Structure 1
Amino acid sequence: MIETFPAFSGMRVLDLGGTPHAWHLAPVIPESVTTVNLQEFESDNPRVKAVAGDACDLPRSILDDKFDLVFSNSLLEHVGGHVQRQRLADNVQRLADRHWIQTPYRYFPIEPHWVFPGFQWLPYEVRIRISMGWNRGHVKTFTRAEAEDVVNEVELIGISQMRVYFPSSTIWYERFYGMVKSLVAIRTVN
């Protein structure tokens, strides 16, 4: 990403869905970072500010601000359907001239949350049952209610949908062994 945005170290970055901890591990921390996450986080770095909030319905303090770059990693598939994804995309494009928005690709053969082959294409009830018994990926569910919540929450998208949400962006394909693994909407204009 630093190659795409050469002035990255001097930017004001808005990270939708991110955490301060992730930025503490970053090789380069920009001039300032504001993370927005549903969960509350603390930050030990004065350059990284944490705001509890919904990226689709941002707090006024964020909406009234202007950033150099909006960044998001694997959030778009979690926000709750088309209307919420469009709201997120609108916020991204309103708050900065540049963005880097990544989401896993729906048609990659391994679903990245469960790390289960073809999980995203299975019938709903099958996904619930697998979620309760698999527990090898990033998702750990032990009751039917937990499994239903997370299965209902994750909705991977395809290339055409990404182009609808980010029509003025370049869509870059992150590949794994030649297959598209993730989609990234990138806008670099000033």
Structure 2
Amino acid sequence: MKKLIRHVYDTNLPNSWASKLRKKRFSLFTSILDSLPSSIKILDVGGTVSFWENLGFFNEQIKDVEITLLNLKFTQTSSTHPKIKEVIGNATNMVNFQSNEFDIVFSNSVIEHVGDYDMQNQMATEIRRVGKRYFVQTPNLFFPIEPHFVFPLFQFMPINFRVWLLTNFALGWYDKVADKQQAKSIATSIKLLRRRQFLNMFPEAQLYEEKFFGLTKSFIVYGEFS
């Protein structure tokens, strides 16, 4: 079971299903870029420099591209890449940016972290405001393995049991948590979305569903405005 879970989620394994899925997802994204003018401004909400470098994005020499990373705080090592700049800001209130400032807004597994449904909807509204197009991915609530804690059906378990698991075991990307209140905060901070909820936030979007053994692991919405 552990080998299967690692194969599903570990993007550090070059032949893992997760790595192949990420490459396929990125191929869909670059196909959208191909239809855009030669000079492209991308906003990555919640992204990192290493994400783009590990994908070899700049090695591809796709087009003249400038990427802005928006995060609540800077990473330990700020970007030195000439095509990437980092900006401190909030995904639910992008006061840093003007309407239609970016050719496309990209966000990968971030919207489930910003708060409740109202906060998620605010993030979606801001994405649609500052970008002429968007490409947003999020995990599926009903996929049987919760992607952050990498534990079967974790998202549907009673909160007290989730807290017990977190205070007794290292789960997924989280070390064992000593404090119960902190464990509760971690367990409730991630709000996975249903398909319909996600589409309601992006009503004009096209939907792509990433599959694993016939089950939808995550959703991607992408679209543009006339």
Fold shared by both chains (TM-score > 0.5): yes
Q: Report the secondary structure of 1:131's partner residue.
A: helix
List runs of 5+ in structure 1 lacking aligned partners.
Answer: none
Deviation at residue 134 of structure 1 after TM alignment: 2.8
CA contact (8 A) 2:100 2:131 kept: no
**Paired residue for 1:19, among 48, 51, 56?**
48
The reply on whether 1:2 has 2:30 as its aligned counterpart is yes
The answer to whether residue 111 in structure 2 is matched with residue 82 in structure 1 is no
The residue type equivalent to 1:165 in the other structure is M
2:189 to 138, 144, 153: 153
Count of aligned positions: 189
Map 1:55-70 onto structure 2 (within 5 A).
55-58=91-94, 60-63=95-98, 66-70=101-105
Q: Unaligned stretches of 5+ in structure 2? A: 1-28, 59-63
CA contact (8 A) 1:169 1:187 kept: yes
Q: Where does 1:1-190 land on structure 2 (aligned, <5 Å)?
A: 1-7=29-35, 10-29=39-58, 31-41=65-75, 42-58=78-94, 60-63=95-98, 66-143=101-178, 144-188=180-224
Q: Could you tell me which amino acid in structure 1 is paired with residue 52 of structure 2?
A: W
Secondary structure in structure 1 of the residue aligned to 2:175: coil
Shift of 1:5: 2.8
Larger radius of gyration: 2
TM-score, with structure 1 as normaliser: 0.92
What secondary structure does 2:129 align onto?
A: helix
Q: TM-score when scaled to structure 2?
A: 0.78
**What is the aligned-residue identity percentage?**
30
- What does residue 20 of structure 2 align with? none
Contact 2:89–2:96 under 8 Å retained in 1: no
8 A Cα contact 1:5 1:188, kept in partner: no
